[in-house]
Protein backbone atom coordinates (compact mmCIF):
# COMPACT_ATOMS: atom_id res chain seq x y z
CA UNK A 1 0.00 0.00 0.00
CA UNK A 2 1.42 3.36 -1.05
CA UNK A 3 1.51 6.05 1.61
CA UNK A 4 1.60 8.77 -1.00
CA UNK A 5 -1.09 11.46 -1.01
CA UNK A 6 -3.89 10.41 -3.37
CA UNK A 7 -4.63 13.31 -5.71
CA UNK A 8 -7.56 13.28 -8.11
CA UNK A 9 -6.71 15.49 -11.09
CA UNK A 10 -9.53 17.13 -13.00
CA UNK A 11 -8.78 18.74 -16.35
CA UNK A 12 -11.23 21.44 -17.38
CA UNK A 13 -10.26 21.04 -21.02
CA UNK A 14 -11.91 18.38 -23.15
CA UNK A 15 -9.38 18.78 -25.96
CA UNK A 16 -7.34 15.79 -27.04
CA UNK A 17 -4.11 17.81 -26.97
CA UNK A 18 -4.45 20.21 -24.07
CA UNK A 19 -2.00 22.50 -22.27
CA UNK A 20 -3.88 21.81 -19.06
CA UNK A 21 -3.36 18.07 -19.55
CA UNK A 22 0.33 18.81 -20.10
CA UNK A 23 0.40 20.75 -16.83
CA UNK A 24 -1.19 17.83 -14.98
CA UNK A 25 1.47 15.58 -16.51
CA UNK A 26 4.18 17.99 -15.34
CA UNK A 27 2.77 18.05 -11.81
CA UNK A 28 2.51 14.25 -11.79
CA UNK A 29 6.23 14.06 -12.58
CA UNK A 30 7.37 16.86 -10.26
CA UNK A 31 5.40 15.45 -7.31
CA UNK A 32 6.02 11.75 -7.96
CA UNK A 33 7.75 11.18 -4.61
CA UNK A 34 4.78 12.44 -2.58
CA UNK A 35 1.66 12.36 -4.78
CA UNK A 36 -0.13 9.52 -6.49
CA UNK A 37 -1.99 11.50 -9.17
CA UNK A 38 -4.98 9.89 -10.89
CA UNK A 39 -6.49 11.75 -13.83
CA UNK A 40 -10.29 11.66 -13.77
CA UNK A 41 -11.64 10.97 -17.25
CA UNK A 42 -15.36 11.27 -16.52
CA UNK A 43 -15.94 14.97 -17.17
CA UNK A 44 -17.82 14.58 -20.46
CA UNK A 45 -19.73 11.54 -19.20
CA UNK A 46 -21.67 13.47 -16.58
CA UNK A 47 -25.26 14.42 -17.33
CA UNK A 48 -26.30 18.04 -17.17
CA UNK A 49 -26.76 19.06 -13.57
CA UNK A 50 -30.35 18.82 -12.45
CA UNK A 51 -31.28 19.03 -8.75
CA UNK A 52 -34.42 16.97 -9.49
CA UNK A 53 -32.13 13.98 -10.22
CA UNK A 54 -30.29 14.50 -6.95
CA UNK A 55 -32.95 14.36 -4.24
CA UNK A 56 -31.27 11.37 -2.53
CA UNK A 57 -27.54 10.43 -2.74
CA UNK A 58 -28.38 6.95 -4.02
CA UNK A 59 -30.68 8.30 -6.72
CA UNK A 60 -28.02 10.39 -8.42
CA UNK A 61 -27.08 9.18 -11.92
CA UNK A 62 -24.41 6.46 -11.97
CA UNK A 63 -21.60 8.64 -13.46
CA UNK A 64 -22.25 11.20 -10.71
CA UNK A 65 -22.02 8.55 -8.03
CA UNK A 66 -18.73 7.32 -9.52
CA UNK A 67 -17.37 10.87 -9.55
CA UNK A 68 -18.35 11.37 -5.93
CA UNK A 69 -16.72 8.06 -4.95
CA UNK A 70 -13.47 9.16 -6.57
CA UNK A 71 -13.62 12.45 -4.69
CA UNK A 72 -14.24 10.62 -1.42
CA UNK A 73 -11.22 8.35 -1.99
CA UNK A 74 -8.93 11.28 -2.86
CA UNK A 75 -6.90 13.04 -0.17
CA UNK A 76 -6.75 16.11 -2.39
CA UNK A 77 -7.97 17.43 -5.72
CA UNK A 78 -5.98 19.20 -8.45
CA UNK A 79 -7.98 21.22 -10.97
CA UNK A 80 -6.32 22.56 -14.11
CA UNK A 81 -8.60 24.48 -16.38
CA UNK A 82 -8.64 26.86 -19.34
CA UNK A 83 -10.77 29.97 -19.55
CA UNK A 84 -13.48 30.25 -22.20
CA UNK A 85 -15.09 33.60 -23.07
CA UNK A 86 -13.76 35.04 -19.79
CA UNK A 87 -15.53 32.30 -17.84
CA UNK A 88 -15.24 28.79 -16.46
CA UNK A 89 -15.65 25.96 -19.02
CA UNK A 90 -19.24 24.73 -18.80
CA UNK A 91 -18.28 21.06 -18.49
CA UNK A 92 -16.14 21.77 -15.44
CA UNK A 93 -18.76 23.96 -13.75
CA UNK A 94 -21.32 21.23 -14.46
CA UNK A 95 -19.15 18.67 -12.63
CA UNK A 96 -18.64 20.97 -9.64
CA UNK A 97 -22.38 21.72 -9.47
CA UNK A 98 -23.00 17.98 -8.91
CA UNK A 99 -20.93 18.19 -5.71
CA UNK A 100 -22.58 21.18 -4.06
CA UNK A 101 -25.40 19.46 -2.19
CA UNK A 102 -23.33 16.31 -1.60
CA UNK A 103 -20.55 18.47 -0.11
CA UNK A 104 -17.77 16.40 -1.63
CA UNK A 105 -15.46 19.41 -1.75
CA UNK A 106 -16.16 20.37 1.84
CA UNK A 107 -12.85 20.36 3.81
CA UNK A 108 -11.12 18.85 0.77
CA UNK A 109 -7.63 20.21 0.08
CA UNK A 110 -7.65 21.61 -3.45
CA UNK A 111 -5.05 23.10 -5.78
CA UNK A 112 -6.24 25.19 -8.70
CA UNK A 113 -4.47 26.23 -11.87
CA UNK A 114 -6.18 28.26 -14.54
CA UNK A 115 -4.10 28.21 -17.70
CA UNK A 116 -5.03 29.80 -20.98
CA UNK A 117 -4.25 32.84 -23.04
CA UNK A 118 -5.05 34.86 -19.94
CA UNK A 119 -7.26 33.05 -17.40
CA UNK A 120 -7.71 35.56 -14.57
CA UNK A 121 -11.51 35.93 -14.83
CA UNK A 122 -12.19 32.19 -14.84
CA UNK A 123 -9.72 31.79 -11.99
CA UNK A 124 -11.54 34.27 -9.76
CA UNK A 125 -14.84 32.62 -10.57
CA UNK A 126 -13.54 29.09 -9.93
CA UNK A 127 -11.88 30.14 -6.70
CA UNK A 128 -15.13 31.70 -5.51
CA UNK A 129 -17.07 28.55 -6.31
CA UNK A 130 -14.55 26.21 -4.69
CA UNK A 131 -14.27 28.32 -1.56
CA UNK A 132 -18.02 28.72 -1.10
CA UNK A 133 -18.33 24.91 -1.17
CA UNK A 134 -15.68 24.81 1.58
CA UNK A 135 -12.60 23.58 -0.27
CA UNK A 136 -9.36 24.11 1.65
CA UNK A 137 -7.11 26.14 -0.63
CA UNK A 138 -3.72 27.33 0.56
CA UNK A 139 -2.64 30.80 -0.49
CA UNK A 140 0.02 29.36 -2.81
CA UNK A 141 -2.03 26.38 -4.01
CA UNK A 142 -3.70 28.46 -6.70
CA UNK A 143 -2.09 30.10 -9.68
CA UNK A 144 -2.94 31.53 -13.08
CA UNK A 145 -0.69 30.58 -15.98
CA UNK A 146 -1.29 33.08 -18.80
CA UNK A 147 0.33 32.30 -22.15
CA UNK A 148 0.43 28.64 -21.12
CA UNK A 149 1.28 27.33 -24.58
CA UNK A 150 4.72 28.97 -24.32
CA UNK A 151 5.32 27.64 -20.81
CA UNK A 152 4.64 23.90 -20.90
CA UNK A 153 5.48 21.59 -23.78
CA UNK A 154 3.60 18.59 -25.10
CA UNK A 155 5.94 16.26 -23.22
CA UNK A 156 4.58 17.68 -19.98
CA UNK A 157 7.71 19.67 -19.20
CA UNK A 158 7.41 23.20 -17.83
CA UNK A 159 9.82 25.30 -19.85
CA UNK A 160 9.26 28.60 -18.05
CA UNK A 161 11.35 28.86 -14.83
CA UNK A 162 8.91 31.20 -13.04
CA UNK A 163 5.99 28.86 -13.74
CA UNK A 164 8.02 25.89 -12.53
CA UNK A 165 8.79 27.72 -9.28
CA UNK A 166 5.10 28.54 -8.79
CA UNK A 167 4.06 24.96 -9.54
CA UNK A 168 6.61 23.53 -7.11
CA UNK A 169 5.26 25.88 -4.44
CA UNK A 170 1.70 24.82 -5.30
CA UNK A 171 2.66 21.15 -4.83
CA UNK A 172 4.34 21.87 -1.47
CA UNK A 173 1.38 23.93 -0.29
CA UNK A 174 -1.16 21.27 -1.25
CA UNK A 175 0.89 18.63 0.59
CA UNK A 176 1.09 20.89 3.65
CA UNK A 177 -2.68 21.45 3.65
CA UNK A 178 -3.26 17.68 3.49
CA UNK A 179 -0.81 17.24 6.39
CA UNK A 180 -2.70 19.97 8.27
CA UNK A 181 0.47 21.99 8.72
CA UNK A 182 0.16 25.69 9.39
CA UNK A 183 -0.69 27.15 6.01
CA UNK A 184 -2.47 30.38 5.16
CA UNK A 185 -5.81 29.30 3.73
CA UNK A 186 -7.90 31.51 1.47
CA UNK A 187 -11.06 32.75 3.19
CA UNK A 188 -14.50 31.86 1.91
CA UNK A 189 -16.13 34.71 -0.02
CA UNK A 190 -19.42 36.13 1.17
CA UNK A 191 -22.46 34.94 -0.76
CA UNK A 192 -23.80 38.42 -1.41
C1 LIG B 1 -14.05 29.32 -27.56
C2 LIG B 1 -12.77 29.74 -26.86
C3 LIG B 1 -12.79 30.81 -26.02
C4 LIG B 1 -11.64 31.18 -25.33
N5 LIG B 1 -11.69 32.22 -24.47
C6 LIG B 1 -10.62 32.51 -23.73
C7 LIG B 1 -10.68 33.52 -22.72
O8 LIG B 1 -11.69 34.15 -22.49
N9 LIG B 1 -9.58 33.75 -21.98
C10 LIG B 1 -8.41 33.04 -22.18
O11 LIG B 1 -7.45 33.26 -21.46
N12 LIG B 1 -8.32 32.10 -23.14
C13 LIG B 1 -9.39 31.82 -23.91
N14 LIG B 1 -9.32 30.84 -24.86
C15 LIG B 1 -8.04 30.21 -25.11
C16 LIG B 1 -7.84 28.99 -24.26
O17 LIG B 1 -7.89 29.28 -22.89
C18 LIG B 1 -6.52 28.38 -24.59
O19 LIG B 1 -6.56 27.93 -25.92
C20 LIG B 1 -6.13 27.25 -23.68
O21 LIG B 1 -4.84 26.83 -23.99
C22 LIG B 1 -7.04 26.08 -23.82
O23 LIG B 1 -6.67 25.13 -22.85
P24 LIG B 1 -6.23 23.68 -23.28
O25 LIG B 1 -4.98 23.82 -24.14
O26 LIG B 1 -5.94 22.97 -22.00
O27 LIG B 1 -7.36 23.08 -24.05
C28 LIG B 1 -10.45 30.47 -25.56
C29 LIG B 1 -10.44 29.38 -26.43
C30 LIG B 1 -11.59 29.01 -27.08
C31 LIG B 1 -11.57 27.81 -27.97
Q: Is 44 exposed, middle or buried (0-12, 13-18, 19+ CB in 10 A)?
A: exposed
**Interior angle at CA 156, CA 153 and CA 160, nearest 5:** 55
Instruction: Report pLDDT for 14.
Output: 97
Q: Count CB atoms within 10 A of the CB of residue 61.
A: 15
Instruction: Report pLDDT for 191.
Output: 75
Q: Which atom of ligand 1 is nearest to the CA of 85?
A: 8
Residue located nearest, by CA, to atom 31 of ligand 1 = 84
Q: Please tell me if the CB atom of residue 11 comes closer than 6 angstroms to any atom of ligand 1.
A: no
User: Burial letters for 183-192: b for 16+ Cβ neighbours within 10 Å, e otherwise?
Assistant: bebbeeeeee
The preferred substitution site among 83, 92, 124 for testing ligand 1, maximizing ligand atoms within 8 Å of CB, is 83
Q: Please tell me if the CB atom of residue 144 comes closer than 6 angstroms to any atom of ligand 1.
A: no
Instruction: Report pLDDT for 92.
Output: 98
Which domains are assigned to the chain?
5-178 (3.40.50.360)
Instruction: Report pLDDT for 97.
Output: 98
Q: What is the percentage of the chain residues whose pLDDT exceeds 70?
A: 99
Average the pLDDT over 75-85 and give the result.
Answer: 98
Given its phi and psi angles, is residue 41 left (phi above 0), alpha (psi -120 to 50 degrees) or beta? Answer: alpha
Ligand 1 centre distance from Cα of residue 79 (Å):
16
**Inter-residue contact 138 to 102 (CB < 8 Å):** no
Average the pLDDT over 136-141 and give the result.
Answer: 98
Is the pTM higher than 0.85? The answer reads yes
**How many whole angstroms from its chain centre is CA 44?**
16
Instruction: Report pLDDT for 120.
Output: 98
Per residue in 121-135, pLDDT (tens digit) is 999 999 999 999 999
Residue located nearest, by CA, to atom 21 of ligand 1 = 116
Q: Please tell me if the CB atom of residue 83 comes closer than 6 angstroms to any atom of ligand 1.
A: yes
Q: Please tell me if the CB atom of residue 84 comes closer than 6 angstroms to any atom of ligand 1.
A: yes
Residue located nearest, by CA, to atom 2 of ligand 1 = 84
Q: Please tell me if the CB atom of residue 118 comes closer than 6 angstroms to any atom of ligand 1.
A: yes
Q: Please tell me if the CB atom of residue 116 comes closer than 6 angstroms to any atom of ligand 1.
A: yes
Q: Which atom of ligand 1 is nearest to the CA of 14?
A: 27
**Inter-residue contact 162 to 150 (CB < 8 Å):** no
Q: Measured between alpha carbons, how far is 37 from 6 in angstroms, rounded to an integer?
A: 6
Per residue in 84-122, pLDDT (tens digit) is 999 999 999 999 999 999 999 999 999 999 999 999 999
Average the pLDDT over 146-167 and give the result.
Answer: 98
Amino acid sequence: MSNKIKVLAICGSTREVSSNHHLIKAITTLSADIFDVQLWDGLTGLPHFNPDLDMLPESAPEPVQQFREQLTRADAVLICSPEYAIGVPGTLKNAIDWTVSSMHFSRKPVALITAGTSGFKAHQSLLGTLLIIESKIGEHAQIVVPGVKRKVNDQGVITDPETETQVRKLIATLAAVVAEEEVVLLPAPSLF
